[in-house]
Amino acid sequence: MSVWKRWTSRPNERAGQIAEDKLEPALEQALKNFRVSVHAWSEAELSRPRTATKTVRQRSWRLAAGLTLGCALVAGGAGGGVYQHHHRQELARIAAARVAEQQRLVAEQKARDEEEDLLAKVDSDVSREVPSAMEPLAQLMDDTTR
């Protein structure tokens, strides 16, 4: 008899113990039979032939995500290159426009200077008191008046 049964048994339950003692060998035999059948079933399952199956994992979303991110990276790089090229062309166009404007301003200034020189020459030619043919006579008159 187990320790638990002895501890929980009371004097008025002694009559029920005799019936339990008779049931214990039957219970042990049933448990033994159950254990043997479980071992036999386990042995049969282990020894039976099995077919190997390949487990296919669905990784299509990973592939799609990787391809999408790769395409985004390539598109970003190409877009950045195109933008930088366009930006450099725009800066070169602006610089060329500034140089052309400077050259135009220099040409205008040069034209103004030439025009002023021409007008000054015309003014000096026109503003003579005496025509050039009579200049020797004018010089004689200037010398005598002094």
pLDDT at position 3 = 47
| CA distance linking residue 74 with residue 109, whole number of Å | 52
What's the predicted TM-score (pTM) here? 0.39
- For residue 1, give the DSSP letter: -
Neighbours of 130 (CB within 10 A): 13
Residue found under tokens 């029920």: 16
First to last CA, the chain: 169
Three-class DSSP labels, 33-64: HHHHHHHHHHHHHHHCCCCCCCCCCCCHHHHH
In the chain, where are the structural domains located?
Answer: 1-47, 86-127
Torsion of CA 43, 44, 49, 55, to 10 degrees: -70
pLDDT at position 140 = 78
pLDDT at position 100 = 96
pLDDT at position 126 = 75
pLDDT in tens, the chain (146 residues): 454 455 455 555 555 565 566 668 888 888 899 999 999 999 988 888 888 777 777 777 888 889 999 999 999 999 999 999 999 999 999 999 999 999 999 999 999 999 999 998 888 777 766 667 777 777 777 666 55
